[in-house]
Amino acid sequence: MDSHGMRSWIFRIVLQVFILQLSTDIYSYANEEKINEFFQSGHTNNWAVLVDTSRFWFNYRHVANVLSIYRSVKRLGIPDSHIILMVADDMACNPRNPHPGTVFNNANQYINVYGDDVEVDYRGYEVTVENFVRVLTGRLPPSTPRSKRLLSDERSNILVYMTGHGGDGFLKFQDSEEISNVELADAFEQMWQKRRYHEIFFMIDTCQAESMYQKFYSPNILAVASSHVGEDSLSHHVDPAIGVYVIDRYTYYALEFLEQVTPTSKKTLGQFLRVCPQKQCISRVGVRSDLFQRDPENVLLTDFFGSVRNVELLSHTIKLEKITNTLQQNDTCGPSCENKQQAYRDRLSYVNQFPV
C-alpha cells in the first residue's frame, strides 16, 4: 500500500471513529434530555381537594360540578385515599330527586356521577370555612380519621377545586358564612410554610371567581377562574325531568376536555387553560400564572389531574447495607433472636393479596 492509500485508509478509520463517537454523544444527550423531561415535574404524589359549598335543591348543579371533577380525577388515577371531597348537600337522597341515588351532569342522563363508589369525606353541615381551612393547613383534632386529612408533603401536587356562590372577594359556604380571598391566600401561605405542597392548581367556578385568587402571594400556585370580577358564572342547561340546571358552563366545557385525557396523555395545562372561550362561557375565564415557576404550556395536565408515578429502572442491584447487616447479625445470634429475625423478614415480605 502506497503512502496515498495509507493516508486514505487512516482518514476513513478516523472518520468512522468520529461518527461513532458523535452518534454516541447525541444518543446520550437525547437520553439525558428524556430523563430530565421525565423527572422535571419535581413531585412524587398527587392530592385533590374538591369542594361544593352550596346547599338546597336549586343548587343541584354545584353538586354535579364537584362530583364530575371527582369522577375525572379518579379515572385518571388519583385514589380516594388522596382525595378530600366536601359536599354541602346530598342531592342523591333529596326527596325532590326523581331518580333517587343518582346525580347527573347532563340532560341526557348518560353518566351518573354519584356512582356506586363515591366517598364523601365532609358532608352537609361539616362543610364549613373552619373545616376547609383546617384540612388545608393540617390543623385538625387528633381524633380526625386519616380519610379526612390532607396528608400531603413538600413533594405533593395538589388540585384545589371549588364551586358555589361567590362575590367580589368571597365565596359563600352554606348560605350562612363565607371565606374571603385574604383568608384563602393566608391558608395557602401556611401550607407553603409548613411544606405541605410542591405546586397547587387552584380552579374555581363561581360568580366573580377571579377575585378569589387576586390576593395569593405564595409561590408555585397556578389559578384559573370561570369569570372576571363583575361577571356572573352562568349555568349550562336544564334537565326538564329534574327541573333544575344540572351543570355550570365552565365546568361543563372543562369536563368535555378532560374526557379526552388518559393517564398517558400529553395534553398540557396550557391547553386546559384555554377551555371555554367567551363565546361558550359568556363570562371571561381568568388565569393567574405569575406565581407559578413553570410554563403551563410544558406542564402535563396529569401532573395535577392524574397520579402517574415516576419510575427509574436500574440495570444493577442496590445493596441496602443496614438491612442486610442487620439480617446477617440476626442469623448468627442464636435461638434467642428468632422472634426478632422473623419480624425483620416480615417487614421485607409482600402482604398476601386479597382473594379475587
Would you name the residues annotated as active-site residues? 165, 207
Q: How far apart are CA 336 and CA 334, in angstroms?
A: 6
Alpha carbon dihedral 303, 119, 67, 204, in 10-degree steps, equals -60
* 77: phi then psi, degrees, rounded to nearest 5: 120, -5
Cα distance between residue 224 and residue 285, in whole Å:
7
Cα–Cα distance between 199 and 293 in angstroms, integer?
A: 9
Q: How many CA atoms, within 13 angstroms, populate the side-chain half-sphere of residue 348?
A: 12
- Residue 239 phi, psi (nearest 5): -100, 110
Q: Rounded to an integer, what is the distance from CA 102 to the centroid of its chain?
A: 25
Q: Note whether 182 and 225 are within 8 A (CB).
A: no
Long-range contact pairs involving 261-265 (C-beta distance under 8 Å, separation at least 24): 261/72, 261/76, 261/301, 261/302, 261/305, 261/306, 262/76, 263/76, 263/77, 263/302, 263/306, 263/308, 264/308, 265/300, 265/301, 265/302
**Beta bridge partners of residue 86, listed in sequence order:** 51, 122
Angle (nearest 5°) at CA 50 between 48 and 52: 175
